[in-house]
Amino acid sequence: MAFIETLLSLISLLSSALLLHAAIEGPKPITLSLIHPFSPHSPFYPGNITDMEKIDILIQVTNARIHHLFSMMRERNWNGSSEVDDIVAIVQYTGFYFVAQVGIGSFPPFPGRNEKHYLLMIDTGSELTWVQCEECNPCFPLQQPNFPYKRSQSYKPIPCGDPTCPTPNQDCFQSFCGFKISYGEEDPPTSTAGAIIKETLTFPSNFGGTESYNNLFLGCGFKNYHYEFRQPNKIGGILGLGIGDTKNLPFLNQVGKKRFSYCLLNSEHTNSQLCIGGAKMVGPQVLSTPLLRGPNEALYYLDLQDISIQNIRLRLLGSFSGGSAIDSGSPITFLLPNVYARVRIGFVQYFDRFHIYPYDSGSRPRDLPMLDLCFPNPSGFDRYPTMTFHFRGADLVVQPDGIFAFGRNYFCVLLKSGPATMIGAFQQTQHKFSYDFELGDRRQGEIGALRFAPQDCGSPASDFCG
């Protein structure tokens, strides 16, 4: 279990966890290369594990994610703001998130690059970017020295009560602008507290250049309790890509970007891509649906209206009244119990016509993944169905590779029943998604638009932000 818990805290996003190498040139968008967590090139490579073990890791990551998000709704910190609550889950309890190499601070007169580099997990549900700093007590294990904030020439403290402090005065850390993070249901809880400072962040380019952003809000984690990491731990903190509910704290706003996009691949041998900024996504295949706020402010919500299996509508109208989230932190899609039951029946009915029947408790082999709906896989069978999510104004058609996990002689449906509907990362593969906050009708409660289109996510990233 120690290996699994540590892996859950280290590997990153969408059925393909990822290491990001930033590539920024002058005023251009930030282009990032995403490395699959199970790739030997990943710093979190788990070694030679079986396909079933990989699937079980995905499932445990998803269970942990949903557990965190809905305990978080019951116990809010930071005066009800959820963007910081979500940070702890990313570091401690979830996997399959982007990991970015980010330069922090300024340390002349050393030759060449004068920033210090840290791997930060990217969280699309968090405004706050933070790193563990020197003088922390207690600290979570970190392979490199904690960030020496006082020695950085670009470090600027923010006094408690200063009008530029983006958090309430009750969250002050000693005499400085501060933040607090707590995971709601664990006893004792995993938690972080610290000061918010202003610093310079620098992204290394794949082509040898760099781009720096000055005077950004950065959290210094000084009190970090009950983190469990397998040594050596390489994660130093969080890079927040959420929009939150404030204007000046989100990273996107601070660096002047109005959108971000990603294209995810479930292959362990080819890099995926992420872009912060870039041009508006257009093209004949591009579809658009509104981004909405929902019950959990840490998540992006969509108006999901129905689901189809191989073009057969399940007629689920009215089943998504609580909203449907799209979550890059959940590898597998969750569906409300009544929705999952209907979808399950739909898959069973589809395969019944081919005389393929699901395993029951008596016939189920012992070496199957921890998924509810699994079938024997007949030799030569290739008529697997698509699954379509019908959003307002746009249909996301998921191909079989994004629906099923295939073993040597079985296949399983990568869906789970849960307390909410969340479209997970595995079902987002082989599409480019763009979260565009310049779009959307604010009068209708829209915070932006999600644009997407099918794309070969393994293709070169040279024009990905174009």
Q: Which is more confidently placed, 1 or 283?
A: 283
* Phi, psi values for residue 452, rounded to 5°: -155, 160
Q: How far apart are CA 227 and CA 249, in angstroms?
A: 25
Q: How many of the other CB atoms lie within 10 Å of CB of 392? A: 12
Expressed as residue numbers, the domain containing 433 is: 287-454
Q: How far apart are CA 99 and CA 121, in angstroms?
A: 4
What stretch of H or E contains 138?
Answer: none
Per-residue pLDDT at 251 exceeds 90? no
Domain-terminating residue out of 276, 308, 334 = 276
The model's pLDDT over 172-219, given as tens digits with 9 standing for 90+, comes to 999 999 998 765 445 676 778 999 999 999 875 545 567 788 999 999
Q: What's the confidence (pLDDT) of residue 255?
A: 83
Q: What's the confidence (pLDDT) of residue 8?
A: 34
| Residue 44 and residue 157 in one domain | yes
| Residue 195 and residue 58 in one domain | yes
| Residue 199 and residue 122 in one domain | yes
Q: What confidence tier does 31 reach under pLDDT thresholds 50, 70, 90?
A: low
Q: 148, 117 in Cβ contact below 8 A?
A: no
Rounded to two decimals, what is the model's pTM?
A: 0.79
Residues in the chain: 466
In a domain, 459, yes or no: no
What is the percent of the chain with per-residue pLDDT over 90, rounded to a whole number? Answer: 42
| Residue 253 and residue 293 in one domain | no
CB-side neighbour CA atoms (13 Å) of 409: 5
Q: 405, 438 in Cβ contact below 8 A?
A: no
In a domain, 236, yes or no: yes
In a domain, 330, yes or no: yes
Q: Which is more confidently placed, 343 or 243?
A: 343
Per-residue pLDDT at 28 exceeds 80? no
Q: What's the confidence (pLDDT) of residue 408?
A: 85
| Residue 117 and residue 97 in one domain | yes
The model's pLDDT over 104-120, given as tens digits with 9 standing for 90+, comes to 999 987 655 589 989 88
Q: What's the confidence (pLDDT) of residue 343?
A: 98
For residue 378, what are its two tokens? 């007949």
Q: What's the confidence (pLDDT) of residue 416?
A: 93
Q: What's the confidence (pLDDT) of residue 54?
A: 67
The model's pLDDT over 62-87, given as tens digits with 9 standing for 90+, comes to 666 666 566 555 444 333 333 322 22
| Residue 230 and residue 173 in one domain | yes
Residue that is written with structure tokens 């794949």 in the block: 206
| Residue 157 and residue 302 in one domain | no
**Cβ-Cβ contacts under 8 Å for 328 (sequence gap 6 or more):** 13, 14, 97, 98, 124, 262, 425, 428
Per-residue pLDDT at 168 exceeds 50? yes
Mean pLDDT of 288-307: 90
Q: What's the confidence (pLDDT) of residue 278?
A: 82
In a domain, 282, yes or no: no
The model's pLDDT over 137-149, given as tens digits with 9 standing for 90+, comes to 999 899 999 999 9
In a domain, 377, yes or no: yes
| Residue 139 and residue 226 in one domain | yes
The number of domains in the chain is: 2
Q: What's the confidence (pLDDT) of residue 209?
A: 66
In a domain, 336, yes or no: yes
Q: What's the confidence (pLDDT) of residue 184?
A: 45
Q: What confidence tier does 45 reach under pLDDT thresholds 50, 70, 90?
A: low
| Residue 268 and residue 296 in one domain | no
Domain-terminating residue out of 276, 297, 325 = 276
| Residue 304 and residue 441 in one domain | yes
In a domain, 464, yes or no: no
Q: What's the confidence (pLDDT) of residue 330?
A: 76
Instruction: Give the dihedral sign, CA 108/113/117/120.
Output: positive
| Residue 421 and residue 336 in one domain | yes
**Cβ-Cβ contacts under 8 Å for 363 (sequence gap 6 or more):** none
In a domain, 463, yes or no: no
| Residue 305 and residue 255 in one domain | no
Domain-terminating residue out of 246, 276, 306 = 276
Q: What confidence tier does 128 reach under pLDDT thresholds 50, 70, 90?
A: confident
Closest CA to 446 of 405, 392, 377: 392
CATH number for the domain spanning 429: value is 2.40.70.10
